[in-house]
Amino acid sequence: MLENMPHWLGQALSRWRAGADSLAIARAELAAATRLTLESPAFADGARLPVRFTDDGEGVSPPLLWRDLPAGTASLALLVEDADSPTPQPLVHAVVWGLSPDDGGLAEGMIVDDGDGDADGRDVGRNSYRRQGWLPPDPPTGHGEHRYAFQLFALDAGAVLEGHDPGRTALVAAMAGHVLAAGLLVGTYSREALAPTGAVGPSGALA
């Protein structure tokens, strides 16, 4: 994984980042006039992720809570991306389709391989390593602070996903034109105290 990248190479690539404007929530076809509330009892928005949720710890997915869903919400979709990965597009850490609005959240460790999904329509999709489940954050040593964007989309009844185990592309296509509201929660993580944290490249900071 990326933690095996040499420190010198991480520093050299510190200005190479996917950028916040590459996140799914910034796409025009997923624009929503209403904002829902997404939060976690484990970390505050903009705060550092506890180690247990990263590749340096147990590597389980963090607990999430949602509220303020608009009328007409039929289902929810979750997409977690690294806005600062040294790649052309953000690294995908989790995809979950078909979450029930009535659940109110996801418990810790719930984003795991679920085969072809649940009978109620919920389906954990593929991360950037083409595996189902949660991809624990593992930013390159020396690359600086990474922002992990937890993006939750409230969808109307017309959102339909074909097949199982969706990746980012299939998820975005299924959601396009059906987003009623969206919420954003950002957790950060970095390796080594001396790593540069100021440069984020031309894409700017998260709104």
The predicted-structure confidence for 89-119, as pLDDT tens digits, reads as follows: 999 999 999 999 999 999 999 999 999 898 7
Q: What is the pLDDT of residue 16?
A: 63
H or E segment to which residue 168 belongs = helix 168-175
Look up the pTM and report it.
0.85
Question: Could you state, in order of their start, the residue ranges of all structural domains in the chain?
Answer: 2-189
3-state secondary structure of 207: coil
Question: Rounded to the nearest 5°, which phi and psi values hold at 68?
Answer: 60, 40
Beta bridge partners of 150: 80, 185
Cβ–Cβ under 8 Å, residues 119 and 52: no
Query: In the CATH scheme, what is the code of domain 2-189?
Result: 3.90.280.10
- Choice among 11-25, 40-54, 101-115, 136-150 with the minimum mean pLDDT: 11-25
The predicted-structure confidence for 163-177, as pLDDT tens digits, reads as follows: 889 999 999 999 999
Residue 205 has pLDDT above 70, yes or no: no
The predicted-structure confidence for 51-88, as pLDDT tens digits, reads as follows: 999 999 999 999 999 999 999 999 999 999 999 998 88
Residue 142: band (very low, low, confident or very high) from pLDDT cuts 50, 70, 90 = confident
Report the b/e string of 131-167 with b at 16+ CB within 10 A: ebbbbbbbbbbbbbbbbbbbbbbbbeeebebeebbbe
